[in-house]
Structure 1
Amino acid sequence: MSKFLSLFSPRLDWRWPVRRWQRWWQGLSPVHQDRLVSIVPLISVLLFLAAIASAFTYFTQLEAQREQQEVTRDVEYAQQRLRLRLLEPHEPLQRMALQIVNQELDPFQFSTAAELLAGRFPELLAVSWLDQQDRVVATHAAALAPAQLNRSAGQPVLNEETGGALGVAREIMQPHFSRPLGGLGPDARLLLLLPLTQHGSYQGTLLVEYSLELLLRLGVPGDVRTRYAVALLDLSGNVMAGSVHQFEPDGLILLPWTGQPRSFQMAVAPVGPHLQLRATGYRISRDAAGEGFFWVVGSLSLLTIWMLLTNLRHTRRRLQAQRALQSETLFRRAMENSMLTGMRALDLNGRITYVNPAFCSMTGWSESDLVGAQAPFPYWPASDVDKLHIRLEDELSGRTNAGGFEMPVQRKNGSTFFARMYVSPLIDSQGQQTGWMTSMTDISEPKRIREELGASYRRFTTVLDTLDQAVSVAPLNSTELLFANRMYQTWFGSTADGHRQLIQLSQRSGATRPDGEDHQSDGLAGLPTDTLFEATTDHAELFLETLNKWLEVRTRYLTWVDGRLVQMVIASDITARRRAEQQAALQQERAEAASRLITMGEMASSVAHELNQPLTAISNYSSGMIARLQQQQISEAELLEVLQKTAKQAQRAGQIIQRIRAFVKRSEPTPTPSDAAQMVANAVELAEIDLRRHLVRLNTYVAARLPQLLVDPILIEQVLINLLKNAGEAIIQAQRPVGQRQVELCVTPRHIEGLPVIEFSVRDNGRGIPPEQLERIYEAFYSTKAEGMGIGLKLCRSIVESHHGRLQARNLYNGQEIMGCEFSFWIPTLAALNP
């Protein structure tokens, strides 16, 4: 037996855990030993406090769960009693409904049976028999029922409350409980609707109304109501019957779940979720002794923790000085090793005493190669030794620039890079200077980028200087000129005066500001400018007398390189283009005058015929007066009448001649406010001469009270005369009979493209225009007439479009046959052009 125990004696030795603990403890540093000595008691006290709190919490929750289970069990029991109370009168009600359907029960007998049923079940407030139209056939209301339940025969019961329940019962054809009705308090009631059906057809409804207050009082057992606040609630949580206990704690509640009343809520069957039964306990069981014990233990534990923390703080202060030096040394070493800037220290004699790893990495020389070295240093290029010697003497004497200096550095592999050096004195702890500290930064890449940017800027300025446009950039409300190309300097010099002058003139050429704000002020200060940058470029055309040039000026807002909001101006010389436009306008005017002369030349015979009538009348009147005067057979009254007729005919001939002279007179287009009716009358007076000669009837319709137009009346009359003349020629070419030769001129106000306009339309009953030629009739020198010149319609279209209008042509059809043509054009009114 002793041999057997000796085999396991090492494992049964109680001293081996102590030895292992001693070895582990001795392996720790003094710092860690002190920390463990301070922390272990603190952890022990915290674990003890956690154990007490866990135990108290566990038993409190266990008691709360027991109470909650008891409440749940009682509510379920009460709900079963309510369910039985609701279903108990269901059988006699079904029997009563069957008797009604089988016509075994008249209204009097129904009232008697309902009264007996209400006596057995006091919670029944009313029992009503409804017909197919939801009107009362017979009813019985209990003595305690509200007044609105005392219904009379024939009275409809359909209202906002009962309508939905009656509709559901009629749809499902099954007994149905409604949601609680009648509001809150004693008037709250519940409807039971039993549809009366025979062979699947709806015959009416048996309406039973329960009092929720009596249902709660009679259905819930008394012992439950004595221990809980029992209430019936709807879906919204409103109390329909009963009461809700309002809990107010009577003292300090240690844990949240120890001070809450126990409550449970569930739906009442068979009503469904519309009716909820809720019970809340009146009393809260609290373990005052347990809570007091918890407070005592917690207070003692907190006092112990405070004492341990105080001791730990004193221990840390004692070890702080020991760790400070080590941490500072390690931090400085880590900082020097992690820096990307090369650091080099020189003594007062120019000998290298220290270099950091970044300096060695940049130069390629190791620390052993550099420390202790004197000038010339290994990283000096051979070609710059003399220059760098002078630079070193300036460093040692303190004659260096605070902004540093550039110098070439040669790596160990022979490659060279540029570095910027910054020199500062090296001061020891006694305040004495022991040398110089130099920091070195590789600037090869920034230097390359700076050179590329300089080259890019030179290319950019070269391109802009070769442009034919003047480009300038200046801040808002400033006399500073940020940029100007060569063309700008040629035109305006090197100041910002030309820039401001172009902006002012371009703003004056557009719409003026309603508030009269000075264009020189920065009206955009403080406002978001994102939309300014996304906006399209504004432009204006203006004439500079100092340059004797027409310029097209474009402006745009930009964000300058320093973040300021600036305005760029681009001015282009458009003098040649403006002169070409003026020449084209002059040619257009000459073509219009030539067209009028051609029109009058074609109408010459008609005009001569028209003038022949007043001249013949004048001659006849004169001959008659001479003959009668010679015979002395005329009185003064007759002579006056003949002279008046002669003067009238002479005035008529003069008006015809003046109208022709005004029409063919060459003048500059002068848009003026004009009357459309007067222009139509003038054009009709000239065009009707030629139309009457060819026996063509002209029907004119001009709407009353037409608004004024901003047009040149002579040009619009030219368009009307040309269209009327073309209409007459189209009728003659179609060889229409004299009775069918008819031209219609209609002038009416309309709204086109959202603008108030006046439309002029000329209709004829000629052969129309071939459909394949409709797109070409406005081309220059193209005509559908054999003797036509092809310039009339093109001029008409140009005149109409110059007045902001549109000219169009369309054929008139009778089925598939062309029965004529209509030319129409519209011009915006004066109010539309000047809103």
Structure 2
Amino acid sequence: MSSASAAPIPTASAPAAAFRWLRVAVWTALLGLSLLVVVLSGEWAANRAARNQADEIRRAAEVQLSGLRDATGRYRHLPFTAALHPVVLALLNAPGQAALGQSANRYLEELNRLAGSDVLYLIDARGVTLAASNWATPQSFVGHSYANRPYFTEALAGRSGRFYGVGQTTGEPGLFISAPVRGDDDQVLGVVTVKVSLRQLQESWRIAKDPILLTDARGIVFLSSVPQWLYHATRPVDAEGLAQVRRDQQYGPRASFPQLPWKVARDGDRPGALIRTQIDGQARHFLAVSEPVEDLPWTLTVMADHDQVLRTRESAWMVAVLCLSLLLLGGLYWRLRERRFAEQRDARRELELRVEERTHALGEAHAFRKAMEDALPVGMRARDVEGRITYVNPAFCQMTGFEAGELLGRLPPYPYWHPDEVTRHWHHYDAMMSGRSAPDGHESRLRHKDGHEVITMVYTAPLIDAEGRHAGWMSSVVDVTEQRRAELQQRQNEAQLQHAQRLASLGEMASTLAHELNQPLMALSSFASAAKAFAQRGDGALLAQSLDDTIAQAQRSAEIVRRIRGFVRQRTAGVEDCALATLVAQALALLRGELRDCQVTLKVRIPDDLPLLRGDRVLLEQVLLNLVSNSLHAVRAVPAAERRLDIEAQQHGGCIQLQLADRGTGIDPAIANQVFEPFFTTRPGGLGLGLNICRTIVEAHRGRLTFAGREGGGTVFTLELPIACP
């Protein structure tokens, strides 16, 4: 027998080896490019989130600065007003007269009560307190010396003084505002000081989610929402500054101010500063933005949790990896498809090799799909036709807190069902079993294994096997807990913005309030002097008339203060029937001083037979107040003879139409589309919230707010509100 010839061993040709090396190089380059895309997408998302967070902090700082200016500025004119009273001047000229001292004590006590400040007191040129509003309390300032206080020395030099520190008598911190008391020869005889507590401001900060603090010119924290940061410094305090603080006894007996336990760093060109610290033993990471306080040597610092930026970066990485994984899966599918076509053309010759390669490729695809399902942030759950759980992915286990072994094979009720929602869970389960699941999903409240609530959106679809038979249901479960919390926070922020606008409107009327109060106070002084003269002459009739006039002016002052304070503090009483004429009259009454100072010609034409409106009286008054205030601001730029404001109302179908037409500068067409946008303003120092909040309030009442140019110059705002149903 002849021996069989040996089969030749196949060897790889040089072109095939070169092709394999080229393919490896291409895949390596694609992998590197994919990693670069993932990294860059994360950085881009982090940068954008950081800038958005800094913008939110600045807006929050603007609201806080507005509240701080209101808290420190509302009492600015109180010492100047008290310094003009005759009993104050008389006591400084004759400090030894007990009757004058008692009269001054009662005057300062009554004035302090009406103003709502903490303490109002009178100091002579030596620094000794002669009279105080708390004269009848155990912690009376009368007889105490405050000659070492900077607010006293500044006022004694003829300037107004402002100083924040701990009280020498009460030990309570506060803001001290002082004014000189001048005699007939313009010589400074003494000082009137008002103490204003900022406790309410600090208490409101302590309920804030993130830290807020206020530092003085030396960097010492004297107000903070974090108690352990109080009386620490953001930078080292030099020896001269420590000596000055001890001399002034600004912060009581404290002789040192340790630095805050912060690690401060800049994050590239991103806004603000990054601060690492510990609060209550827990490491925290914040983005901090500091803003100077107008007219005061203070700095307001507002912080926000910077971990949100890091989570945004991680989320961007996950999305990028998911997208690249889907692309890679598509590429693998295309590769398998091409390979299958190639194998079909040479089925006989490469049958065993094709089966082996295909099995290997399918194994890789299955492993890749399993890894992709495990990496999905969306929970996946499969149930058979009896409702028994047959599959859960890691995301679903993390969402409920149960391991896969604790869930597989379970029938309802499932352990993650919320005990308060059992009836609703059974309803959705029955709908699924009967094939009536909502195609757009339903919201479901679950209870985590550790007890906290998880709000989810559940989307269910039938599960069909390879033979086309119904094998159960597949559900995707999305965690929307944070989204619901964000929606709740947004609604709360909108309510805070409306209150911030009322405070901003009050700031604009501060000068009007000072002007309105100056006239009755001066009249009170004149009537009191006249009453004294009539009493000396024994003229009883004129004395009674002077006292009646004095009472009338005092009531007028109280009414002015009541209106302004009521505008700030009042809360909406809800929906009620309102007369439009009354709403307009109330808004004009609050702006009476500004109308007079503006010298505007005002014409109001509102028919008496107009039907009632159905709405919130306080919110509607706020809308009218903002619109009239904007019109007055617009007409100030034109000559006084041309200033005009017409307010007309009429019934138009089922609505009442109110028009406010001014002869001001008008609205530039280039910015007409931005007028109702939040934080857009052309007024210096404005917040840009007025018209945006006005439109929000009007639309909430099912009304409409529009504007147009007025023929001959000016602007016409048109307010349409539905009539109350009879």
TM range (shorter): 0.3 to 0.5
The TM-score with structure 2 as length reference comes to 0.39
Greater gyration radius: 1
Q: Quick one: higher RCO (CA 8 Å, sep 6+), 1 or 2?
A: 2
The TM-score with structure 1 as length reference comes to 0.35
